[in-house]
Copies of this chain bind each other. A is one copy, B any other.
Amino acid sequence: MTTQSTAEPRPQVQELDRVTIRFAGDSGDGMQLTGTQFTRTTAAFGNDIATLPDFPAEIRAPAGSLPGVSGFQISFSSNDIHTPGDAPDVLVAMNPAALRTNLADLPPGGALIVNADAFTANNLQKAGYAENPLSDGSLKDWNLFEIPISTLNARALDGLAMTSKQVDLTKNFFALGLMFWLYERSMEPTLRWIEEKFSSKPVIAEANARALKAGYAFGETTEIFHTHYRVKRASLPPGTYRNVTGNEATALGLVAAAQLAGRQMFLASYPITPASDILHQLSTYKHFGVKTFQAEDEIAAIGAAIGAAYGGSMGLTSTSGPGIALKTEAMGLAVMVELPLVVIDVQRAGPSTGMPTKVEQSDLLQLMHGRNGDAPIAIVAPATPAECFDYAIEAWRIALRYMTPVAYLSDGFLATGSEPWKVPSVADLPSIAVEGWTDRETFRPYRRDPETLARPWAVPGTPGLEHRIGGLEKADLSGNISYDPENHHRMTQLRHQKIANIANDIPDLQVYGPSRGDLLILGWGSTYGAIRSAVERLQAEGHAVAHAHLRHLNPFPRNTGEVLGAYRRVLMPEVNMGQLRLLIRARYLVDAVGLNKVRGKPYRIAEIEEAARLLLTEGAAQ
């Protein structure tokens, strides 16, 4: 075995605060599984973690090709962390294509573990390498570990009744085992998982277990790695934790909302990346009274959700940007008939088909304005994967209390990224139940609750409340068709006021940092982690920099203007061309500056830090 390690001899065990690992390989190499297993183990161990999967839109692009590369990054720490890490400390590259597409992210001196067996002429060519980088000296700036993973793994599986192709499919577990050794993780959770998963295929189970153990043993017994690392448990607040992705937390939050409201939930959806998993997961919750329906398209999906809402269920629809574009006409109908409805948008990079598996925050204005007529709806947006749980409930609270459609904005990074979630006790969750209307005497289809301006939810089947609703303008109170000019003006204002009033019923915008100062960084959605980390760094240097993160995007919290006014400058990083910024500027006439990178990737902390520094120095120069 050849190794060109340039690592200095180091002590046997080294303690680290934080480590970031990226697994990268061919889509067929099982990188997502490898990453997930490392994540589970690490989460269960008690580190704080954050993950970032990154995979191609193709189901299985040609083996060895550049577009076929799939990656999974995990950052874990003994402290509270907010992002999956700007740059990996360790890159595991299972083939030349993975090396080529990921190397630029690995800082010089970083550890680079490659499967040397994969650097064949054919694979090198597919990756566009004229020379073998392992031998042409081009990797000298990194701490390179060349390991013939395929060979070693095959040897470990010797004797099992498997084809060589099957054997090769387990090599990711060899790599995983090696990383487990390197970072002092237990193999137990993964071994248990293997056992369960392949209970009906004992040979495959045996093979995977052997691969894992072989990788672990390789680390232990060879001398390539002069050391291994320890990242202590994080001191998270007490509680029971689990690791969740945003899509998982969203689905759990939705089920919880149904239980808290005491109503049947009805999800009608049409598959689309990266939202489909919410449909998949909810379709396994029938014993919670959750009905799911895969419609013929997005229009039918929202139509069915509205139908269910009309019938008294919690009508729900989930999609991504292109699907929202198809739902807007029906969302307008829901505004006019004032029924509760939650519309989930797991955003991806646009416009049009765009980059389906990549993150972007560019549907905010579509949800805010993308309907004919003046048709306001409420909008909420969780900031982290775990928060998805809370905001799924919050979306429902608003929808039910105000009889209105609510948009819930997640994105590809939140959806597939993960973090530890402190599991709440059910007893601590809010009740969001609302009563249907039954009283005949006082019933008027558009009589409003004086506080919320919500109209009664009078569902078919309720005797004596037979009435008609529809998309034509409704007469105040009676709900009959009305072309009366004054009525239309009044109803338009009522629809606006109803949404605006929600501001009285949501928490103030919180500020992290000084309550006034030089710079406020204002964000929303999945930029949370990067902004918070950047602000922490700047604060540590003594800058008067604060972070505020909006979760309610329509209406805004009541103190938003006040908060914005307390800082000399406002910086708004968004993974779009400035959508929230437009709304903030229009509303508060604050000259907020945008940071707008749309690369299909989450922000790196450094990018935000840099933009912030620029504004801070600009100020100093004045």
Interface residues of A (CB under 8 A from B): 56-57, 67, 320-322, 324-326, 328-329, 332-333, 335-337, 349-356, 358, 360, 362-363, 365-366, 368-375, 470-473, 483, 485-486, 488-489, 492, 495-496, 576-577, 579, 581-583, 585-587, 589-591, 597-601
Contact = CB atoms under 8 A, between A and B. Distances in A.
A213 to B, nearest CB: 36
Given A350-B375, A585-B585, 12 more contacts: A67-B483, A329-B352, A332-B352, A336-B353, A349-B473, A350-B371, A354-B372, A354-B472, A369-B369, A483-B600, A496-B577, A586-B586
B375 A371 contact: no
A356 B370 CA distance: 19
A350 B332 CA distance: 8
Given A371-B366, A576-B374, A335 B358 contact: no
Contacts of A371: 325, 350-351, 366, 370
10 contacts: A324-B372, A326-B326, A328-B366, A335-B351, A350-B372, A350-B373, A352-B471, A362-B372, A369-B369, A486-B599
B598 A488 contact: yes
A372 B600 contact: no
Contacts of A332: 322, 325, 350-352
B352 A335 contact: yes
A483 B358 contact: yes
Given A366-B370, A586-B586, A375 B353 contact: no
Contacts of A582: 582-583, 586
A483 B56 contact: yes
A369 B372 contact: no
B372 A489 contact: no
Given A371-B325, A372-B366, A488-B349, A354 B600 contact: no
Which of A351, A473, A579 is the most central at the interface, judged by chain B CB atoms within 10 Å of its CB? Answer: A351
Contacts of A362: 372-374
B358 A375 contact: no
A473 B354 CA distance: 5
